[in-house]
Amino acid sequence: MQSLTNISLKTIVKKQVKWKAKLNISALSSLIILLILFGALTSSSGSGSYGSGSGNLDVHFSIYSLDIFLIISAIWAFIVALLFTTKAYRIDDLSVVSSRTSSAIANILVMIIYSFIAVILMISTYYLQVLGVLLVEKKSLVIDHLFISPSVFILCFSSICLFGAIGLLFGTSFKGPVAIKLFLSTFILFSFIYIFMAPNSINLGSLMMLPNLMISVLYLLVATLCFSLTIWIANKSEVSRK
């Protein structure tokens, strides 16, 4: 049998998710504009290109992929997640009875929903870009893996979700207790120093060679850790405020 507290928290979070998802719908509009803009800018050259020639024959290849759209969506998710934790967005919580913990849980759920929608939007933009190249520029395409596989879909979702989780963690941490702010600031400072002093020590090549599903699981595990820390920090902030 559930306690009244759990039922109350579940009801509050459910109301907040509906409210935040509708209220922040403009964030998805901004993503659509960004994807269409970058899709149009890269329609002539794609996400990469190379060429070769022999005698009077010159061949130029343009590669169209989800890479640029995924990068844009990941950065967008990070920024939107940070905005969710700002004072202007927290004021909106006053329209619904809430606490910092319930607000953090609602932000996480909205971020997960938005990440799923973002994947659909970026894949749709990718197909529109390919269609535009076929109809407008009348280029010959060598189509390879036209249909997005489930593993690629999950990888894109986990990547966007990870950046959103990091954004929520950062935003919530800087609004949390002083000890957490100092720890996070020190961690970021030493991380930048380490990367600057020993850039060759970080090898992402071995990670990129893993299968898509394994990378997705790793990303989702890290995202879950970030989400859990976000809720924990929000709960600590609630206790310290009281």
Q: Summarize pLDDT for 146-205 with one digit per residue, the tens.
A: 678 888 899 999 999 999 999 999 888 887 777 777 877 777 777 667 656 655 555 555
Secondary structure class of 154 (helix, strand, coil): helix
| DSSP alpha helix (H) spans, the chain | 4-23, 25-41, 67-84, 87-91, 100-132, 150-173, 178-197, 205-208, 212-241
- pLDDT confidence tier of residue 225, bands split at 50, 70 and 90: very high
Q: Is residue 191 part of a domain?
A: yes
Please report whether residue 91 resides in a domain: yes
Query: Does a structural domain hold residue 10?
Result: yes
Where do we find the tokens 């149009």?
40
Q: Which of 54-63, 83-92, 206-215, 222-231 has the lowest mean pLDDT?
A: 54-63
86 vs 230, which has greater pLDDT? Answer: 230
Alpha-carbon gap, residue 71 to 146, rounded angstroms: 20
Q: What is the mean pLDDT of the chain?
A: 77
List, for residues 128-140, the tens digit of each pLDDT value: 887 777 777 665 5
The pLDDT, as a whole number, for residue 96 is 53
Alpha-carbon span 170 to 82, nearest angstrom: 7
Question: Would you say residue 187 lies in a domain?
Answer: yes
Q: How many domains does the chain have?
A: 1
Domain range enclosing 13: 4-45+61-241
Residue 54 included in any domain:
no
> Does residue 235 lie in a domain region?
yes
Residue 34 lies in a domain: yes
CA-closest candidate to residue 72, choices 104, 31, 16: 31
Rounded to an integer, what distance in angstroms lies between the CA atom of residue 19 and that of residue 14? 9
